[in-house]
Amino acid sequence: MGRAPALLSFLLHILFLLGRVRCSAVAALGRRLPPSTDGVCARLIRPLGYPCSEHAVETEDGYILSVQHIPYGRRALAKKSGPPIFLQHGLFQGGDTWFMNSAEESLGFILADSGFDVWVGNVRGTHWSYGHVTLSENDKAFWDWSWQELAQYDLLAMIGYVYSTTNSKIFYVGHSQGTIMALAAFTMPNVVQMIESAALLCPISYLDHISSRFVLRAVGLHLDQLLLTIGIHQLNFRSNMGIQILDSVCDGHMDCNNLLAAITGENCCFNGSRVNYYLEYEPHPSSTKNLNHLFQMIRTGTFAKYDYGWLRNLIHYGHLHAPAFDLSKIPDSLPIWMGYGGTDALADVADVRRTINELRSKPELLYIDKYGHIDFILSVKAKDDVYGELIRFFRSQGWPSSY
């Protein structure tokens, strides 16, 4: 009973904000960076001397995604591509996340300089992707998806494009949501047959032990359901509405001066002096339905498809309950490497171990006690702590015979 006034107060506050910023929020929906002339290649990769091209990939359900291609490093002598490797970003991030530090510290550059043919994915809704063949970002239907569709459509389309272009199986690297997508997609034969081996940074399939103060408060407030009820289907934390929502969750309940730590947990080796630079690119938008799906996982302790409720589940799945993803369906012939940290408030150690236990094969593991969720992609020490081991793992699998 004590939580009812807090929920009512929160609802009234959001409704008040909705009335104040509706016009500016709608205007923000229509703004996007023009990827063809101002994309990841032009802004982050070519200026540092690396070759890079932009590619458009259409999904089965009509979204047009951007994929960047870095065929070799800036000091390559033969100008010849090595084996293809695909990088998939996490939630509220885009392909830029792999290039945000210096060329000596960023995984995307390090892989290119190590002889890999680097391909970078960007899911629907991010600043870098190109929209939809018929839908506008102002349409509710444009945002009617969760990570389930990202695995089923986006990942399949992008991996398929790289596979057909290179005529080779692909090394896969995912971080955070990029691991949820992968673990779900790898249960599907049409995806996993194109993968040579996979490295998962901060792997997530279960969220039972999540300890993020910010996320747990948002779950307790039923923020996801509230936003869907009042018609907010895009989550854009760069908009006025998004910023006000963040402030409302924090207000009086936690210190959000370090919002990153409140959401992800403490990060040991993140360069705080570069935050303003990172904020030029991130966070990227996502859908409220995606947040709703993740919060369902927290509430139910399952790694399952989106729960529409009994009636709509029957229509969508032919079952009353949303079907679970069965990790034992991932072939034991697929080599997997996982990196995870002791201070990660999102990919908790207990949940990672549950994931490991449900796989048919035993993955290679790298555990770093002091590392948090963001350290695995933005730590200034990650080249020595993480990336060397990741590259050693891929090379130990034997590069495809054509290389």
**Residue 49 — φ and ψ, nearest 5°?**
90, 10
CA distance 62 to 247: 35
Q: Is-catalytic flag, 55?
A: no
Q: Where are the alpha helices (DSSP H) in 63-207?
A: 107-113, 147-149, 156-166, 177-185, 189-192
Q: Map residue 265 onto helix, strand or coil.
A: coil
Residues 6+ away with beta carbon under 8 Å from 168: 83, 84, 196, 400, 402, 403
Q: Is-catalytic flag, 373?
A: yes
Residue of 344, 348, 351, 375 marked catalytic: 344
Residue of 176, 197, 212, 286 marked catalytic: 176
Residue of 168, 293, 373, 385 marked catalytic: 373
Chain centre distance of CA 384 = 23
CA distance 164 to 144: 29
- Of 338, 332, 364, 370, nearest to 351 by C-alpha is 338
CA distance 262 to 256: 6
Report the largest interatomic distance among the alpha carbons of the chain, rounded to a whole angstrom.
69
Q: Map residue 308 onto helix, strand or coil.
A: coil
Cβ atoms of 340 and 231 closer than 8 Å:
no
- Of 128, 219, 234, 122, nearest to 178 by C-alpha is 122
Q: At what angle do helices 240-250 and 3-29 cross, to 10 degrees?
A: 160
Angle at 345 between CA 344 and CA 347, to 5 degrees: 65
CA distance 10 to 34: 36
**Residue 25 — φ and ψ, nearest 5°?**
-65, -40
Q: Is-catalytic flag, 247?
A: no
- Catalytic positions, please? 176, 344, 373
